């Protein structure tokens, strides 16, 4: 009580003086406070304050007070502190400022991101790139798989020439090794791995976090090369109505409608809906096969949210239906299926989900929190690839209980929790049935030590008790060191593991005449260590702001499911024998040469290799198939005031990549020559014209019209032994033009 009185006295005396004494110097003084539920306030110690566009900042003292020199063009003051939401406020005069920070429970509550199109999360000890709605609007089409166009770290490619599924890649490894969460709920995994990216429409997304390297232990053990967390539009924050329509030159049409309604101060409800279809038969390369499958998708989420001072609760349901038909142009699924007349592909997916997120908030102890996530789903898929029939059902239950608190003060924080994962798989391929029930209770602990403005250390570990694969320990370590206010160095190391679904994750390997063959022991969980270092540096060039990011990562597999296509007649699946690793190095420069103009230039290089087992049993270390060693990315964006006009241009150059030798009867040996697919470029551009309440946009993809010649091998004989539609390394379809509109009521 006594100290509080003194502090109050100080506060008022500073307040009194501020108007007179301090206004003579060009210094802003103020105090940073945290408001408690009981109406009392407490100073925030060690909060950092910095002017937007300024190199240097300051931090609050033990009373929460600060002083910061102000030059006239600086108005935007950025205030941040660990455990609190970063706040930006406008300061125009030299009056004493009182700033109230709100507590952030990043894992239990949403983080509002207001920044440039793509940026590095400066507070996060894990190297995390944030893709905002602004960046998502740059690539208008259409869903999560297409949202990484302007991101240097994640690249996207078609997995084959028939199914239309897309693969993302991070650190040289496929999306399987990225833990993809939707609002902290593991989502794109299991049977959803292949098409899951297509099931998140772009207009639903509010931001994407791309964390490179080992992730936090909190959301599980499956992050091996990185973690994506996708945030969706929130019922209490989003526009009341957001309508988007889209059409493109390939015949794809889309409607997205989001609704949000605040029922009262505490309750809100939101709907996210999507319908899209492609019914135009497209065969640009005249190989008799559809370049893209025909499809229809209906997709929706209904979410309710309750927010009071003490409790935050959200619950909702998701439903999805998708039907795809592809293969030969003349294929009619009603007549020709299993007939051998025409080659056909079909895939029907239904998915239903329930989710709830509850967080108990302690207003008097904002650093404390208790949250519970529950998610249940049924995923059902029935597919055929010519004569190869597949059905799969996944039933999953996921729950995660997180408790967070501090030891003494907010410089020593911890999170602890319990999780439970139940996966029940029932798959049938040809005449074999695969059943697997995984039941995995787990527990985790993560400790964060902060030395304000200097160092953040995160040490985490989790223990999971897998019913089939035993007790497993997953340690993770992260450090962020502030070399200077403009330079951050991050280190990370961590283990990850996951159980692969050999068939469901490799649909692209089924659209051929190869025989799927399991070699050796039963498939075991994949396991890897990831090590990384990254450096981000803010710089000023000709008085304009820029950022340089350098990073290097290595992933080392202890076990991996190797999908071996080195023998032309087989797809051989086996547990790793010998080595498998991926090295990745990336350099990225972001620069704003003029107001509202952004330029990004990035280069990355991969070295991804694994030991393949030849049929005679020797090991040969081969560069990973379909992975290009080099990639350049250039992005230019410009907007006029209030985004009345927006222009965006992206150019990508992908270097050559190794492809399997598919010549008749080929069996790879250590002496076989290496075959490469050529390098190619890809240019995308978009123009947006905004009106007061709505936008229209016109854009083009693959404007340079590069396509892979003959993406399907032996397309004229789809039931013959050389037929192969899995050898896709480049765009199958040429130039595409689209037009769309967005209408928003706030």
| Residues contributing to the site for other proteins (CB under 8 A) | 89-90, 92, 641-642, 644, 690-692
Shortest reach from residue 79's CB to other proteins, in Å:
12
At 543, list the tokens: 């008085």
Q: Which is nearer to other proteins, 262 or 537 (CB)?
A: 262
CA distance 448 to 406: 9
Shortest reach from residue 691's CB to other proteins, in Å:
6
Q: Which is nearer to other proteins, 519 or 690 (CB)?
A: 690
Pairing of strands 736-745, 311-327: unpaired
CA distance 738 to 247: 6
Q: Which is nearer to other proteins, 92 or 435 (CB)?
A: 92
Q: Which is nearer to other proteins, 85 or 360 (CB)?
A: 85
Shortest reach from residue 71's CB to other proteins, in Å:
16
Q: Which is nearer to other proteins, 412 or 595 (CB)?
A: 595
CA distance 42 to 31: 10
Q: Which is nearer to other proteins, 87 or 607 (CB)?
A: 87
Shortest reach from residue 97's CB to other proteins, in Å:
8
Q: Which is nearer to other proteins, 92 or 709 (CB)?
A: 92
Cα separations in angstroms, 335 against 328, 332, 344? 13, 6, 11
List all residues 6 or more positions away from 408 whose beta carbon is below 8 Å from its beta carbon.
none
CA distance 321 to 105: 34
Shortest reach from residue 91's CB to other proteins, in Å:
8
H or E stretch at 687: strand 680-690
Q: Which is nearer to other proteins, 89 or 483 (CB)?
A: 89
* 3-class secondary-structure state, position 466: strand
Shortest reach from residue 70's CB to other proteins, in Å:
14
Environment class of 671 (CB within 10 Å of its CB; exposed 0-12, middle 13-18, buried 19+): exposed
Shortest reach from residue 9's CB to other proteins, in Å:
24
Check: CB of residue 320 under 8 Å from CB of residue 299. Answer: yes
Shortest reach from residue 22's CB to other proteins, in Å:
18
Pairing of strands 27-35, 97-101: parallel
Q: Which is nearer to other proteins, 72 or 471 (CB)?
A: 72
At 138, list the tokens: 């740059």
Q: Which is nearer to other proteins, 25 or 640 (CB)?
A: 640
Shortest reach from residue 692's CB to other proteins, in Å:
4
CA distance 81 to 98: 15
Angle at 350 between CA 345 and CA 355, to 5 degrees: 145
DSSP 621-682: EEEPTT-BSEEEEEEEEEE-GGGSEEEEEEEEEE--EEE---STT-B--TTSPPEEEPPEEE
Pairing of strands 432-451, 294-307: unpaired
Cα separations in angstroms, 144 against 97, 181, 208, 292? 42, 12, 9, 18
At 222, list the tokens: 């499956």
Shortest reach from residue 690's CB to other proteins, in Å:
7
Q: Which is nearer to other proteins, 310 or 644 (CB)?
A: 644
Shortest reach from residue 639's CB to other proteins, in Å:
12
């Amino acid at each position: 009580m006594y100290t509080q009185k003194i502090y109050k006295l100080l506060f008022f005396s500073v307040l009194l003086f501020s108007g007179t004494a301090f206004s003579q110097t060009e210094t802003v003084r103020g105090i940073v406070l945290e408001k408690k539920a009981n109406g009392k306030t407490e100073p925030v110690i060690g909060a950092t304050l910095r002017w937007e566009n300024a190199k240097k900042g300051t931090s609050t003292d033990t009373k929460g007070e600060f002083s910061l020199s102000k030059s006239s063009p600086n108005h935007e003051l950025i205030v941040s502190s660990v455990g609190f939401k970063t706040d930006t406020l406008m300061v125009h005069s030299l009056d004493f400022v009182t700033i109230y920070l709100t507590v952030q429970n990043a894992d239990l509550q949403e983080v509002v991101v207001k920044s440039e199109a793509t940026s590095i999360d400066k507070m996060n000890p894990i190297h995390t790139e944030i893709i905002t709605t602004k960046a998502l609007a740059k690539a208008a089409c259409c869903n999560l798989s297409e949202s990484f166009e302007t991101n240097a770290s994640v690249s996207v490619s078609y997995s084959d020439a028939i199914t239309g599924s897309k693969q993302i890649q991070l650190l040289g490894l496929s999306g399987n090794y990225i833990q993809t969460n939707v609002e902290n709920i593991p989502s794109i995994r299991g049977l959803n791995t292949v098409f899951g990216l297509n099931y998140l429409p772009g207009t639903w997304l509010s931001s994407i976090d791309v964390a490179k390297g080992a992730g936090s232990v909190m959301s599980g053990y499956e992050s091996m090369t990185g973690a994506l967390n996708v945030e969706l539009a929130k019922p209490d924050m989003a526009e009341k109505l957001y309508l988007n329509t889209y059409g493109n030159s390939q015949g794809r049409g889309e409607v997205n409608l989001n609704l949000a309604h605040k029922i009262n101060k505490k309750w809100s409800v939101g709907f996210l809906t999507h319908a899209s279809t492609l019914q135009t038969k497209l065969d640009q390369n005249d190989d008799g096969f559809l370049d893209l499958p025909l499809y229809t998708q209906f997709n929706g989420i209904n979410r309710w949210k309750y927010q009071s001072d003490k409790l935050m609760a959200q619950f909702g349901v998701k439903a999805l239906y998708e039907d795809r038909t592809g293969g030969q142009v003349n294929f009619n699924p009603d007549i020709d299926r299993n007939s051998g007349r025409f080659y056909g592909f079909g895939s029907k997916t239904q998915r239903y989900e329930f989710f709830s997120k509850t967080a108990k908030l302690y207003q008097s102890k904002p650093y404390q929190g208790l949250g519970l996530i529950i998610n249940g789903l049924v995923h059902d898929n029935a597919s055929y690839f010519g004569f190869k029939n597949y059905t799969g059902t996944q039933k999953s239950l996921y729950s995660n209980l997180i408790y967070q608190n501090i030891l003494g003060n907010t410089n020593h924080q911890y999170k602890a929790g319990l999780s439970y994962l139940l996966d029940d798989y029932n798959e049938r391929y040809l005449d074999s049935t695969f059943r697997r029930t995984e039941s995995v209770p787990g527990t985790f602990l993560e400790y964060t030590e902060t030395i304000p403005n200097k160092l953040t250390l995160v040490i985490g570990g989790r223990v999971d008790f897998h019913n089939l694969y035993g007790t497993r320990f997953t340690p993770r370590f992260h450090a962020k060191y502030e070399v200077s206010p403009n330079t951050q160095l991050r280190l990370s190391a961590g283990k990850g593991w996951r159980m692969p679904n050999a068939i469901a994750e490799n649909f692209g390997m089924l659209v051929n005449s190869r025989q799927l063959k399991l070699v050796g022991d039963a498939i075991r969980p994949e396991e890897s260590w990831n090590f990384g270092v990254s450096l981000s540096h803010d710089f000023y060039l000709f008085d304009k702001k820029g950022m340089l990011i350098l990073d290097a990562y290595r992933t080392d597999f202890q076990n991996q499911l190797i999908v071996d296509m080195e023998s032309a007649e087989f797809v051989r699946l086996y547990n790793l024998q010998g080595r498998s690793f991926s090295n990745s190095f990336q350099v990225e420069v972001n620069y704003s040469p003029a107001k509202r103009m952004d330029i990004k230039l990035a280069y990355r290089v991969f070295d991804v290799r694994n030991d393949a087992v030849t049929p005679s049993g020797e090991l040969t270390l081969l560069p990973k198939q379909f992975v290009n060693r080099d990639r350049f990315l250039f992005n230019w964006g410009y907007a006029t005031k209030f985004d009345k006009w927006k222009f965006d241009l992206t150019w990508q150059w992908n270097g050559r990549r190794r492809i399997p030798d598919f010549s008749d009867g080929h069996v790879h040996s250590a002496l076989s020559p290496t075959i490469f697919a050529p390098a190619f470029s890809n240019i995308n551009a978009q123009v947006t014209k905004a009106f007061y309440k709505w936008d229209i946009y016109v854009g083009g993809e693959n404007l340079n019209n590069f396509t892979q010649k003959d993406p399907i091998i032996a397309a004229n004989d789809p039931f013959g032994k050389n037929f192969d539609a899995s050898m896709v390394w480049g765009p199958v379809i040429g130039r595409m033009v689209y037009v769309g509109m967005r209408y928003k009521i706030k």
